[in-house]
Amino acid sequence: MKNYIGIAPEQTEILSEKLNLLLSNYQVFYMNTRGFHWNITGEKFFELHLKFEEIYNNTILKIDEIAERILTLGAVPIHSFSEYLVKSEIPEIKNMSKGKEAVRNLLEGFEVLIRIQREILQIAADANDEATNALMSDYIREQEKLVWMFVAYLK
């Protein structure tokens, strides 16, 4: 039996679980980036302060899209920070004020996000879930460019 959007319940369950994992990682990534924005000091303060703000503003939009996609699939998005911390593969970063170290942490976070998004791409393709697939493709394309730029920044 399929739901109203035409995806089998067992597939929506698998997708929703993986999307909740992604949501948890995005929430921790968001808070880390927000902290980098608040606490950054040093020579590249202005440049990094603005970039971190751009990233966390973009991340909060993705968080909302992911949660709404989970709801569309008929599941409930995780919505407690304690559960995010348990499920997230991205560690919570505290009191980071050094620019290059913050950028390295962002790169490590993007590595996790991109990997999970690629896994979701495959699951969504198997389920003929074009909407989830499109979200993940858009996120990956955007983040790969950011990774390239941050790697160039660190050289």
pLDDT of residue 70: 97
Distance CA 19, CA 132 (A): 9
pLDDT of residue 1: 55
Fold annotation for 9-154: Ferritin (1.20.1260)
Span 91-148, pLDDT tens digits: 999 999 999 999 999 999 999 999 999 999 999 999 999 999 999 999 999 999 999 9
Compute the distance between CA of residue 109 and CA of residue 9 in angstroms, rounded to an integer: 31
pLDDT the model gives residue 4: 87
Is the CB of residue 77 less than 8 Å from the CB of residue 66?
A: yes
Residue 96 confidence (pLDDT): 96
DSSP secondary structure letter of residue 91: P
Cα–Cα distances in angstroms (integers) from residue 9 to residues 13, 22, 81, 95, in the given order: 6, 20, 27, 43
pLDDT score of 2: 58
pTM over 0.85: yes
The 10s digit of each residue's pLDDT in 1-57 is 557 899 999 999 999 999 999 999 999 999 999 999 999 999 899 999 999 999 999
